[in-house]
Amino acid sequence: MTFMKLPAVRGKYRENYNLAHLTWFKVGGAADVLYKPFDEDDIADFLKQNSGKLPVTIIGAGSNIIIRDRGIEGVVIKLGSGFTEIETLPKGDLLVGSACLNFNLAKFAQANSIKGFEFLVGIPGTVGGGVAMNAGSYGSEFKDLVKSVYALDNLGIKMQIPVEDIGFGYRKNSLPTNLIYTKVVFRGDMGDADKIKLKMQEINKKRSNTQPITEKTGGSTFANPEGKKAWELIDAAGLRGAKIGGALMSTKHCNFIINQDNATADDIEMLGEFVRRKVMEHSGIELKWEIKRIGRNEKI
């Protein structure tokens, strides 16, 4: 693929760009092309010109993905600083760029005495990723705060989607997977800044005590089956500390895979599939990946 075949944009292209350093696991191959758009109109122009010809993949902070070792075909879009702003709307709601880190949104809300966002300090990644998977922790989820989402379809058509049409479910929404979220409108409710800060501190303490947050990991590997906890099923199957290559099921929280010793993406994915198989054999329950796996060679 060459630049001559790519749509004209105001942002930047990088060909054969290694993506591993953009992920928390620090694994994975290269993108045929990495595209960092200048702004929302720039993405829209790219999508209109591309008109579905080249495959398009969007990545956020890289906190909840495995990029496979053989890389990603087509164009990978990574939203930059132009998509991280937080704006207070007249009625107290917040308009937030989809590349804004969840942690930064939580800190902004606390500084402005806005309650309900405390749980975001415990969720790595970006607002856009949080909408895509209805991220949640400590009893709260994105669906509790989102009022609407601004998005682009694969032809560059802009839309604003109200929450009732998003179809939030457990770790998912019902929108087409080819949408690119650019901004999110959140409900803003006033609270007590000191109480908000205290709750955030409690969440941070609990998270640091129970999760391997200083390791190269991707967050929770598997979604909790209905009425069950994934880590308990993994533990009961004797898989705490299970290892393939350089990938390890954390001994601190066994629903986390760690890149312990120069693991490859294959190591990580094969370990996950091994755990899924053994849990099914032990309990009859199928674990479903919460981490998104993207790139060439879809099956391990």
**Single residue among 18, 49, 81 that ends a domain in this structure:** 81
In a domain, residue 205? The reply is no
Residue 171 bears catalytic tag: yes
Query: Are 30 and 92 within one domain?
Result: no
- Judge whether 295 and 67 are in contact, CB under 8 Å: yes
What residue type is 132 in one-letter code? A
Find how far residue 197's CA is from the centre of its chain: 24
Query: Are 176 and 73 within one domain?
Result: no
Find how far residue 263's CA is from the centre of its chain: 21
Query: Are 137 and 181 within one domain?
Result: yes
- As beta bridge partners, residue 294 has 67
In a domain, residue 206? The reply is no
Residue 137 bears catalytic tag: no
Number of structural domains the chain divides into: 3
- The pLDDT assigned to 2 comes to 46
Query: Are 96 and 109 within one domain?
Result: yes
pLDDT tens, the chain, 300 aa long: 444 589 999 999 999 999 999 999 999 999 999 999 999 999 999 999 999 999 999 999 999 999 999 999 999 999 998 999 999 998 889 999 999 999 999 999 999 999 999 999 999 999 999 999 999 998 999 999 999 999 999 999 999 999 999 999 999 999 999 999 999 999 999 999 999 999 999 999 999 999 999 999 999 999 999 999 999 999 999 999 999 999 999 999 999 999 999 999 999 999 999 999 999 999 999 999 999 999 998 554
CA gap 9, 12 in Å, rounded:
7
**Single residue among 81, 104, 124 that ends a domain in this structure:** 81
Q: What is the DSSP letter of 153?
A: -
In a domain, residue 242? The reply is yes
Choosing from 40, 98, 171, 269, which is the catalytic residue? 171
In a domain, residue 300? The reply is no
Query: Are 266 and 253 within one domain?
Result: yes
CA gap 7, 111 in Å, rounded:
41
Residue at token pair 């981490």: 291
- Judge whether 282 and 232 are in contact, CB under 8 Å: no
Choosing from 98, 220, 250, 276, which is the catalytic residue? 220
- The pLDDT assigned to 90 comes to 84
**Single residue among 81, 113, 137 that ends a domain in this structure:** 81
CATH of the domain at 240: 3.90.78.10
In a domain, residue 47? The reply is yes
Residue 290 bears catalytic tag: yes
- The pLDDT assigned to 299 comes to 55
For 141, the domain range is: 84-195
Q: Measuring CA to CA, how many Å separate 30 from each of 16, 68, 71, 235? A: 6, 9, 4, 34
Listed in sequence order, the residues at least 6 apart from 104 whose beta carbon sits closer than 8 Å to its beta carbon are 84, 86
